[in-house]
Structure 1
Amino acid sequence: MTRTVAIVGSGYMGGGIAQVMALAGAEVRISDISYDVTLKNRERLIEEARKFVADGLFPADAVERIEARISAAETIEAAVEGADFIEEAVPEKIDIKHDILRRICAAAPPTAIIGSNTSTISIASLAEAVTEPGRFLGVHFSNPSPFIPGVEIIPHAGTSEETVREACAIVHETGKETATVSDVTGFVLNRLQYALFHEATQLLEEGVASAEDIDTLVRTTFGFRLPFFGPFAIADMAGLDVYNFCYQSLQKDFPERFATPKVLSDLIDQGKMGTKSGGGFTDVPAERIPDLIAWRNRAYVKLSKLLDELGPPPMS
């Protein structure tokens, strides 16, 4: 059965989500502040798809599929009528989102799952405007939504487990990966992103390095690993004892900012030093470690070749 999806807010983020859903086979209705804006955004999405096909970023028949499957609804109410899944992607202002969510709930089927693409606002606070809040959660795509593969799934305390499972299934149909996280300020993606940015600005303000050199170090050293491994897997391969020593060194000048995490100390007390001991944040069997290291090395070499092939980004 073809899924019916409504995207409320058809700008850059909402429009990209609409493209993703349409390419996955859903019938997608988009709506915006006015029907005229919605129509213009639909045309933009078709033109974008044409360019993405020409650049080899979308499949060859993407324009036809998007043109056939994305329709412009005259109103929000018309968009959500009969929908299975609704994604709210309006501006990051709680009063606007509350108003839109109330309109969605008044017109949508009571069984429709409602997701919000918010990147900063508490899901629980948004849920105050939702009838049947067990069907509501955060479904946070990243910019640019057609091409970034990860999606944050953020239930609030009242979200049903069935809603979480179904929202993950809908996202997986698009070929993307999901990570389910708690409803805390900043969720996970932005807490990590802004923690890195904050430390980078500290280094810049202290005159330690230029913005260009900081960016160079991030993308060519630890950032180079991040397409393949998250921070816990990287720590395990480096050795948790090494991390512990580095924390102690950092504490000489930054005792509070770089206090050793308790979870790291606890693992070391248990004799878990990462892959070298067969246990850490990730449990990699000892017999798999040579295969892991060989895979890692191949991945890094292939990424280097890809970057050489692409050339530098056109930023200057």
Structure 2
Amino acid sequence: MAQRSVAVVGSGYMGGGIAQVLALGGARVALADISQEIAEGNLERLLGEAEQFVADGLFPADAVERLRENLWAAPSIEEAVADASYVEEAVPEKLEIKHATLRRISDAAPADAVIGSNTSTISIAQLAEVVEHPGRFLGVHFSNPAPFIPGVEVIPHETTAPETVEAAKEIVELTGKKAAVVKDVTGFVLNRLQYALFHEAAQVVEEGIATAEDVDTLVRTTFGFRLPFFGPFAIADMAGLDVYSFCYASLQTSFPERFATPKVLQDLVDAGKLGTKSGAGFLQIPAERSNDLVAYRNKAYVAMGRLLEDLGPSPVDEETAQQGGASAPAG
């Protein structure tokens, strides 16, 4: 099988990281920017980073050699994309810059090349307006830092072809990451959830309920401790959807609008689908697998605790300790 030829347009922090994982996945990757000089400079930076990642045990021992073999700096965007079967656009998050770049990509790339944008906020349909053959275009949103975060949002717009989605999922698989296909709505899914948490956390600090340090401690050591292993729906199913319904009712005594019970939750509770204890909920986990799930959960949490012990305190924890712990809540 011929080596897959891909291009990454935008060689900065995000584009460079995406190029690294594509090249380590075996693709021949052209790296392009506003000039060959910038692309070459960032290529050298990526090789230097990779050397340090190897030394730290974060990249495989042969990573630098594989990157030297598979990654190259193109003289221009047009030359980078000329023979590419897949192009990832990763230029700054400004509509006019993305539009100008995508026009150049779609004019120069093969007509059947799939084009993905790494945008985290801009409507995919709006970006698609300047792409010739927009059925081959979609969002393919890697997270920062791209070499190490394993999830990728794949975001088709209304006229994205099904085969384009499948091709994007194959690209994500090539990098060793997991794809989640989501609709083209404001914030997509990742940032919609991330900013919802941040908004509530900021209000807690503004209201003087807890300090930023204590909020971070609670998130890291309670529900955030679960999230590497289980998403919010699996966690809810294990807790019991009737319990969630009761908790919403309690929250509504102080925050009636902010914590209105989601209809999808109430419908399940009304139907007697209470999660793992009833064998049905958001996820269809048979009740007889409950013991296996609990055993896995307990092993996972203990393993996470040991990992954190082995890593030691983060620089954030060290700075907090040096400053004498968390400050008093505002207000």
- 2:329 — aligned with what? none
- 1:233 — aligned with what? 234
- 2:144 — aligned with what? 143
**Aligned-pair CA distance for 1:312:** 1.0
- 2:183 — aligned with what? 182
Q: Considering only aligned residues, what root-mean-square deviation do their CA atoms show, in Å?
A: 0.5
- 1:298 — aligned with what? 299
- 2:16 — aligned with what? 15
CA deviations over 1:78-131 (Å, ceiling 9, x no partner)? 100010100000000011100000000111000000000000000000000100
How many angstroms apart in 1 are the aligned matches of 2:229 and 2:181?
19
CA deviations over 1:182-208 (Å, ceiling 9, x no partner)? 000000000000000000000000000
Q: Structure 1 residue 201 and structure 2 residue 202: aligned?
A: yes
Q: Mark the runs of 5 or more structure 2 residues left unpaired by the alignment.
A: 320-331
TM-score by length of 1: 0.99
- 1:110 — aligned with what? 111
Say which SS state the counterpart of residue 2 (structure 1) adopts.
coil
How many angstroms apart in 1 are the aligned matches of 2:203 and 2:315?
27
- 2:328 — aligned with what? none
- 1:119 — aligned with what? 120
CA deviations over 1:275-312 (Å, ceiling 9, x no partner)? 11111001111211110110010000000000000011
One-letter amino acid matched to 1:289: S
How many angstroms apart in 2 are the aligned matches of 1:204 and 1:78?
51
- 1:253 — aligned with what? 254
**Aligned-pair CA distance for 1:33:** 1.5
Say which SS state the counterpart of residue 138 (structure 1) adopts.
strand
One-letter amino acid matched to 1:38: A
- Work out the number of aligned pairs and report it: 316
- 2:42 — aligned with what? 41
How many angstroms apart in 2 are the aligned matches of 1:152 and 1:84?
20
**Aligned-pair CA distance for 1:173:** 1.4
CA deviations over 1:225-280 (Å, ceiling 9, x no partner)? 00000000000000001100100000001000000000011001100111111110
One-letter amino acid matched to 1:216: T
Say which SS state the counterpart of residue 5 (structure 1) adopts.
strand
- 2:290 — aligned with what? 289
**Aligned-pair CA distance for 1:176:** 0.3
CA deviations over 1:131-184 (Å, ceiling 9, x no partner)? 000000000000000000000000000000000011101110111000000000
**Aligned-pair CA distance for 1:36:** 1.0
- 1:192 — aligned with what? 193
How many angstroms apart in 2 are the aligned matches of 1:306 and 1:295?
16
How many angstroms apart in 2 are the aligned matches of 1:105 and 1:258?
45
Bigger mean CA deviation after superposition, 269-278 or 194-203: 269-278
Q: Mark the runs of 5 or more structure 1 residues left unpaired by the alignment.
A: none
